[in-house]
Structure 1
Amino acid sequence: MSELGNRLKEARLAKGLSLEELQEMTKIQKRYLVGIEEGNHSMMPGKFYARAFIKQYAEAVDLAPEELFEEFKEEVPSTINDEIPEQLSRVTSRKTMAIGSSKVFDILPTIFIILLVIGIFFLVWYFVFAKGNDSDTAPKPNKSSEANYQESEKLKENKEKEDKADKNNTEENNSKNEEQAKEEEEAPKQEVSVVKTAGRTTEYELKNTDKFELKVVSTGETWINIKNGKGYSFFQGILKKGETESKSVDFSKETEAVIVIGNSAQTEIYVNDEKVDFAVSPATSVRQDITIRNNK
C-alpha cells in the first residue's frame, strides 16, 4: 500500500465509512477506490481520472486535495504527457491535408481545359445543327387577321384571369404569414433558469415547453451518469470526443433530470438543442451534480 493510499484509507476509517458507502458518496466504482488505496493507478481509465478520483476521495473524507498532491507529488500521476500524442497527431493530420490539397490543385488546369473543349464543341453543334433545324421547321404565320384578333382577345382574357388568381393567392399567403408570425410572437420562448446552487450542486428550472430532450456532449473525455428523479439511470459511463462524444435522453414524460458530471471542463449540456451554461465554473469544481426540473 502506498503512503498516499494509506493516508486516504486512515481518513476513511476515521470517519467510519465503508468502501460501499464511499462509492455511493463519490459515484466512483469500488474497484477504483481500492486501486487508489493500494497505489495501483494503472487500473484507472487514464491519468486525468486518477487525479480526479483521488481529489474526490480526499474531499469526501475531509482532506485538502492540493496539500495531498503537493506532499505526495511523486505518487500522484501527472497528466502533462497525455497531451503530447494528441498534439503530434494534429500536426501529422495537417501535413497530410496539405499534401492532398496540393495534388488536387495540380490537376485543376487539366480539368478546366477538358471542360472548355467540351463547351466549344457543344456551341458549334448548337448553332450549326440545332439552329438550322429550328428555322426549317418554324410554322408559317397565319394570314387571317380575324383569327389573329380572336386569339389575341382570348390570350388577353386568360392573362387577366391568371393575374387575378395570382393576386388572390398573394393576398392569402400574406395573411397566413402575418397570422403565423403573430402566433410565433405570442408563443413564450423556452427558458432554463438557475434556481439554486450549493457547492458543486446546481438546480435549474425548465419553462415554456412541453418538449424536454436532454443531450450531454463531451469535448474531450468525461464520465457522466444520467438519471431521472426516481434514481433510474439511463446512462452511466465515459464519453470520448470523436467516438461516443454525446448521449441524448428524452425526459418529456419525466419531472426532472439528474446529471452527474466527472469532468465539467470538457462537458456541455443541451436542452432542446439550447446550450445550458454551468452556474458553477468548471475551474471551481471538476465534478458537478446538475438537476433540471421540468415545469410544464
Structure 2
Amino acid sequence: MTELGNRLREAREAKGLSLADVQEITKIQKRYLSGIEEGNYEMMPGKFYIRAFIKQYAEAVGLDHEQLFEEYKSEIPSSYEDEIPQRATKVEKVRTTVPAEPSQFLEYLPKILVTAFVIGAIFLVWFLIPKSDSNDKAVKEEAVVEQPKSPVVDEKETKKETAAPEKEVKKEEPPKPKQTLSAAGASGRKATYQLQNAEKFEVSVLSKGETWVGVTDGSGKSYYGNMLTKGQSQTFDLTGQTSAKIVVGFAPDTEIKINGETLTYQLPAAEQVRQDIIIQVKPAAQ
C-alpha cells in the first residue's frame, strides 16, 4: 500500500465510510477505489482516469486533492503530459498524407466544362431550327384544307321522323249486363222466377228454424232432400242447367239465394208455408 493510498483509507475510516459508501458517492466502482488505496494503478481503465479517480475519492472523504497531488506527485503517474506529445505526433502523420500538389484532373476540368458547353449549344441550335420550319409548314397546310360541307337536311323528312306516333285508341268494351232475378208468375203453391245474364247458377238454402228442403234440376235429378235445422245451410252448383226446382217445407224459416242474391217470395210465406220454387235460366244477351 502506498502512502497516498494509506492517507485516503485513513480519511475514509475516520468518516466511518466503507468502500461501498464511497462508490455510492463518487459512482466509481469499488475495485478501482481499492486499487487506489493499494497503489495498483495498472488495473485502471486508462492512465488518464487515475488523477480523476483520486480527485473524486479525496473530495468524498474531505481531503484537498491539489495538496495531495503536490505531496504525492512522485507516486501519481503523470499520464496527462505523456499523452499530449503522442496525440500531436498522430496529427502530424495525418497531415503528411494530404497531397501537396493538385491532381491533373483538376487542371483539365475547366477545359472539359467549356468543351461540353459548346457542344451542347451547337446541338440545341441544330435541334430548334428544323423544328420551327416544320411547324410553319404544318400551319400553312392546315389553313389550306377546306372544311367539309354539312349535308342539307330536309325539314319535311325531319318532321316526319320526329313526329310522335299516334296513340291507338282503345275501343271500350260495352259493360256486361247485370244479373237479374225476376218473378214470372205464381199459381197455387208454385212460383216461377227467371234468371237472366248470369255467368253461373248457384243455389244456397239457409234454415232459420226447422224446414224440409228438396232440390232437383230440370231433368229431375235430385241434389238434396232432407231436413235443415236452425243455422244449417246447403249450397248447390247448377251451372249449365236451364232450370231447377226447390221444394220448401216451411217457407217462414227458409232463406233462398241465387248467385248470392236473396229470393223474394211471390207468395206470402206466412200464408203459404209449403212452396215449390221454379228457377228458369235464360242465356245472357249477346
> What band does the TM-score fall into relative to the shorter chain?
0.3 to 0.5
Higher helix share: 1
Alignment TM-score, normalising by the size of structure 2: 0.44
Alignment TM-score, normalising by the size of structure 1: 0.43
